[in-house]
Structure 1
């Protein structure tokens, strides 16, 4: 038995329980941009983001959506025997477009074997109109909706340093908007940003737990040449924590996190081309395995320290009665 199943809430098992079998994501790359790049908020983007928009393994965005789905589906079926899929709008900000255009893209991925549509976006790029459309679409089509919001950290000072273009408030606003619907809500976090410490890691877990987030994706920071972060790294202005420290942060985060929250990943894959730093020069799965092994060694698990909500300070009154 994979003991990781006992230590944290695995996404693969969550999908299998929900859909009765393994479900695979089909990445979709749209011709879009980001308000942090096109001048609406900034022209520089986040200091760590390169021109691929975090979708380095996707098919070209000039390829029609239907063809991207078909090609990805063919590959996954051939290699994994998959029968059910999630259409995943991954790269850049997938709600940053006129609502009619957004509706068109969503309607084009509705196929019999697609059980869910996952939409990755910024917390300041959704509103009630987009959410109302998705709610109506889901009810009519029977296709589930999941929304992924990029937060990266709850530390609003760090958010400013990385030129994120939003603060914690916008994330909370977006999260509450999504939670009003029956959508699955995922948050993206980077646990080793140079300006964050372990207190921020704990607060990340607490905020996501208090908001009732459904799942989380953890990513270690990678550094690409030609980005503002890359320049800072080459000039010695920032320091990356060690792999052991990252592993400790992930475990601490899990200990404080609501045990019901699904963990989509503990560390992400990253582009090695033009990279100055990626996952300490180690395969992502080796780091994942080390995290799981260390959790076994410590005999710890997700939610071990999840004891801070619902009036923690007055619980002693009930125990004394």
Structure 2
């Protein structure tokens, strides 16, 4: 029984598979069209494309086998192959088929594929639907904000309609969806955050990853941050926005993440200098003390 004030992923996976399931991040060598088309990519995206925790010098299979071998020693026996770095649908379909196939090794029960909402063609969805016959498939889409002005400010290069369209087409195929949202973007209001939760609920998206905005070296955001052109909100504002988001989120949506993991090195700002577990504990404690829970204000 889940005693947390939100529907957490760890509990969901244990109930679904009968035992713990661990996510293993992969850098499969993908790039991102938004980085190479001359627009420069999202202003917060570090050079690794959020794959800074992965040894990209290893092959895909080596990355998986190395991490899985260590996890088996800790008593973990089921795994999610998580295609994390950059845009993991940015390749011809046959190449995608070969790469995804390589990740299906013993005890991998989920293919978890992260990408942009404007890189989800019907051919990609056809391919993902094929793989659902062998393993569970999760498609992760970066929404980040529902505010069109914010999307321009962070140089996302896609619109809200791209997200809605790709979500609807994926859901029509029965593919499990996870949306990414950054709740403390300086250009967003608290109402933008709560409306994002309501949209995710209305679209019947299965899961969310909530992120805390960090400032990594080598990014356009770092330049703006140093110049004083962008200011990150306070810790108290972040905590409140997370809770407001959860209150307006349907209680059945699975919360995959509440706080980001900034890069270990080269971070100008990250999580107010606190550990991820400390922030998680602060969020849970705030919800419990204030009597707030996921879905308590949902439509």
Over aligned residue pairs, what C-alpha RMSD do you find?
1.2
Runs of 4+ in 1 over 6 A off after TM superposition: none
What is the DSSP-based 3-state SS (H/G/I as helix, E as strand, rest coil) of the residue aligned with 1:189?
strand
Alignment of 1:55-204 (within 5 A): 55-60=51-56, 62-78=57-73, 80-139=74-133, 141=134, 143-204=135-196
Contact 2:131 2:137 in 1 (8 A): no
Aligned partners of 2:284 and 2:223: how far apart in 1?
Answer: 34
Aligned partners of 1:168 and 1:234: how far apart in 2?
Answer: 29
TM-score where L is the length of structure 2: 0.97
The equivalent of 2:19 in structure 1 is 21
Asked if 1:293 corresponds to 2:289, the answer is no
What is the DSSP-based 3-state SS (H/G/I as helix, E as strand, rest coil) of the residue aligned with 1:208?
helix
TM-score where L is the length of structure 1: 0.91
Q: Using the TM superposition, give the Cα deviation of residue 63 of structure 1 relative to its aligned residue in structure 2, in angstroms.
A: 2.1
User: Aligned pairs, how many?
Assistant: 299
Aligned partners of 1:286 and 1:91: how far apart in 2?
Answer: 26
Q: Using the TM superposition, give the Cα deviation of residue 261 of structure 1 relative to its aligned residue in structure 2, in angstroms.
A: 0.3
Aligned partners of 1:243 and 1:212: how far apart in 2?
Answer: 30
Aligned partners of 1:279 and 1:109: how far apart in 2?
Answer: 32
Contact 2:24 2:67 in 1 (8 A): yes
Aligned partners of 1:63 and 1:226: how far apart in 2?
Answer: 23
Name stretches of at least 5 consecutive residues in structure 2 with no aligned partner: none
Q: Using the TM superposition, give the Cα deviation of residue 275 of structure 1 relative to its aligned residue in structure 2, in angstroms.
A: 1.0
Name stretches of at least 5 consecutive residues in structure 1 with no aligned partner: 308-321
Q: Highest Rg: 1 or 2?
A: 1
Q: Using the TM superposition, give the Cα deviation of residue 52 of structure 1 relative to its aligned residue in structure 2, in angstroms.
A: 1.0
Aligned partners of 2:78 and 2:71: how far apart in 1?
Answer: 10
Aligned partners of 1:221 and 1:134: how far apart in 2?
Answer: 30
What is the DSSP-based 3-state SS (H/G/I as helix, E as strand, rest coil) of the residue aligned with 1:124?
helix
Superposed CA offset, 1:239-270 (max 9, x none): 11100110000011111110010001111211
Aligned partners of 1:194 and 1:82: how far apart in 2?
Answer: 39
The equivalent of 2:42 in structure 1 is 46
Q: Using the TM superposition, give the Cα deviation of residue 31 of structure 1 relative to its aligned residue in structure 2, in angstroms.
A: 1.3
